[in-house]
Chains A and B, each alone.
Chain A
């Protein structure tokens, strides 16, 4: 409730290049636990055929397709039992991984200690909204010295999907721990919700490493931009301990509008922050994404690699901040932003902010914008490759630096996803 009162005093941010009609916050269903069955589509026949074709191309199993499309499936879902098996294995190592509500019940001390310590409830408009109303999410704790043996993924708990709107994720890697966490889903979720304002908090203590990968493909709306999700997420990592290391990798292809700036607070000495991003906008989509790297500790290092692809009327903006505080002796940052444009109606924008308060810091910024060359396309087609395949080949090549940061199977899916998302973007 504290957060809610604070939220009432705030105004919506208006600084972005993205424009959207005012959101009626009263009209949003804040808690949408299992929707009533009669509101749901009865079967796959009621679903937008374009969506089904996409599932088909991505090779999503039929059962999963039904579930993703929001069809009331009465089958017992396998992932529950699979999830349990994994859970046992993880708990042997002392790893806590589960829903937020379970964590609040079973580990209230950890939750109290860390929740809101990276993203305070006063942080920003949407984070405050999330803090006021969040219903559930994921919680993960890796004890000291433990290397999590598998990629943790929200896939395991996919049955909790209806809580996704104001999801809260909190991941803590204790001293010397390692975890790789995968968020999201490559199949577009059909969802009536207007607004997604999730918050992700990561905490890495001494010598700990967190790798957080996202592939996000929320429903982007139709060709005219009707419908579609507003994805306004606050994601931040705190490299609290010395030699800690947090890397964000994201592939954003969905949503009507995306605002997302996975950030790192490099507090511990020698801490490393990384951000690797691919954002694709097609039709009327808008993405405004980037990263903040706050250098506080000595010899902290950060890398930002951002790849933006705009097709159709899509608009893509990189917005980033590299801030080196007085205390950050010997800090280094390297930022690289590349944009590629398809067609003549799309746009790319870059807004880098750099604040350096320590003279020993080294900050580099490189940016490029190019059009997918008509010559590149022609070259591929002259070799017998169709225009559509050629575009996806060229775009995937452009994104290679980021895809190689993704876990193997995610990278493969991300590539397929790029091809599907670009469909129809060449004549």
Chain B
């Protein structure tokens, strides 16, 4: 489904990704871990089409197509979804309006009829109940005044609504208390399916207690330096990223509690 070959990306002519390779097949869940500044979020944003990053080399194929040639909205309509690390606030635009516009744009692209207000409301309310979200979040401005947990739940709600083919979750677990983490993890697990692939970008191991990935990759200095099964996360937790040899860490991750549970 997704094939990344020798991807090189820089921002303000500073290289961030330096030849990254990654293959993700349908039905798989991959976790990408790594210290701060290793390029995890850059990877997530580049795949979604953020224009502040410049791709200087390599290629990305998504369902056989050249992903990098598509505009962000085209990628989204083709089923690529990014759950943002920092969901953006849009004052004055109600959440329900954004959600409906998003869903209908994607449905139109898939050749499905658009939902009217009534059909949409019954669908979204059902999904919200499932995410344990209160209805009033629909009528508030997008992410404005939402708590950290509400913002992250809102991202997963959008994922559940838009039913992506490839979902990239950028630090969806950060800033969540344990109850919210379980709800979010439950949402992610429910969306696992043989047709759908997911990439979890995470700093911590704790999400992986709830969402068990098929493959774990460690990203360091813009490259994947190690890949393995779910046991790799535990190994990392014990020894830290610095134990991976060619990955010197700026500052002391473990002393900062970076890998604490």
Q: Complex: how many Å from CA A393 to CA B101? A: 10
Given contacts A375-B88, A399-B92, contact A383 B76 (CB under 8 A): yes
Per DSSP, chain A at the interface is helix
Given contacts A378-B50, A378-B72, A397-B141, contact A384 B92 (CB under 8 A): no
Task: Specify which chain A residues have a CB less than 8 angstroms from the CB of B11 in the assembled complex.
Answer: none
Given contacts A389-B101, A393-B98, A393-B101, contact A382 B52 (CB under 8 A): no
Choice from B76, B89, B141 contacting A384 with Cβ under 8 Å: B76
- Number of residues in A with C-beta < 8 Å to the partner? 23
**B111: shortest Cβ distance to chain A, in Å?**
14
Whether B90 pairs with A384 at a CB distance below 8 angstroms is no
Nearest CB to that of A401 among chain B residues?
B92
Task: Specify which chain A residues have a CB less than 8 angstroms from the CB of B162 in the assembled complex.
Answer: 383-384
Choice from B72, B89, B90 contacting A382 with Cβ under 8 Å: B72
For chain B residues 55-96, which have a beta carbon within 8 Å of chain A?
A: 71-73, 75-77, 81-82, 84, 87-93
Q: Which one of B102-110, B127-135, B214-222, B248-256 contacts A?
A: B102-110
Whether B71 pairs with A381 at a CB distance below 8 angstroms is yes
Task: Judge whether B48 is part of the interface by a CB distance below 8 angstroms.
Answer: yes
Nearest CB to that of A397 among chain B residues?
B92
Task: Judge whether B158 is part of the interface by a CB distance below 8 angstroms.
Answer: yes
Task: Specify which chain B residues have a CB less than 8 angstroms from the CB of A381 in the assembled complex.
Answer: 49, 71-73, 76
Task: Specify which chain B residues have a CB less than 8 angstroms from the CB of A380 in the assembled complex.
Answer: 90, 98, 102
Taking each of A376, A394, A397, which has the highest tally of chain B beta carbons within 10 Å of its own beta carbon?
A397
Task: Specify which chain A residues have a CB less than 8 angstroms from the CB of B88 in the assembled complex.
Answer: 373, 375-376, 378-379
For chain B residues 129-150, which have a beta carbon within 8 Å of chain A?
A: 141
Q: Complex: how many Å from CA A382 to CA B141? A: 18
Task: Specify which chain A residues have a CB less than 8 angstroms from the CB of B97 in the assembled complex.
Answer: 393
Task: Specify which chain A residues have a CB less than 8 angstroms from the CB of B84 in the assembled complex.
Answer: 379, 382
Taking each of A382, A394, A398, which has the highest tally of chain B beta carbons within 10 Å of its own beta carbon?
A382
Given contacts A378-B72, A389-B101, A393-B101, contact A383 B92 (CB under 8 A): no
Task: Specify which chain B residues have a CB less than 8 angstroms from the CB of A396 in the assembled complex.
Answer: 92-93
Task: Judge whether A385 is part of the interface by a CB distance below 8 angstroms.
Answer: yes
Whether A384 pairs with B50 at a CB distance below 8 angstroms is no
Whether B102 pairs with A383 at a CB distance below 8 angstroms is yes
Whether B106 pairs with A384 at a CB distance below 8 angstroms is yes
Taking each of B71, B92, B98, B101, which has the highest tally of chain A beta carbons within 10 Å of its own beta carbon?
B92
Whether A386 pairs with B141 at a CB distance below 8 angstroms is no
Choice from A382, A393, A401 contacting B48 with Cβ under 8 Å: A382
Whether A385 pairs with B90 at a CB distance below 8 angstroms is no
Task: Specify which chain B residues have a CB less than 8 angstroms from the CB of A387 in the assembled complex.
Answer: 71, 73
Q: What are 25 A-B contacts defined by CB distance under 8 Å? A: A373-B88, A374-B51, A375-B88, A378-B50, A378-B72, A380-B98, A381-B49, A381-B72, A381-B76, A382-B82, A383-B101, A384-B77, A384-B105, A384-B109, A386-B73, A387-B73, A389-B101, A393-B97, A394-B90, A394-B92, A396-B93, A397-B91, A397-B141, A398-B91, A401-B92
Given contact pairs A378-B88, A383-B102, enumerate 4 new A-B contacts (beta carbons under 8 Å). Answer: A378-B48, A381-B73, A386-B73, A393-B90
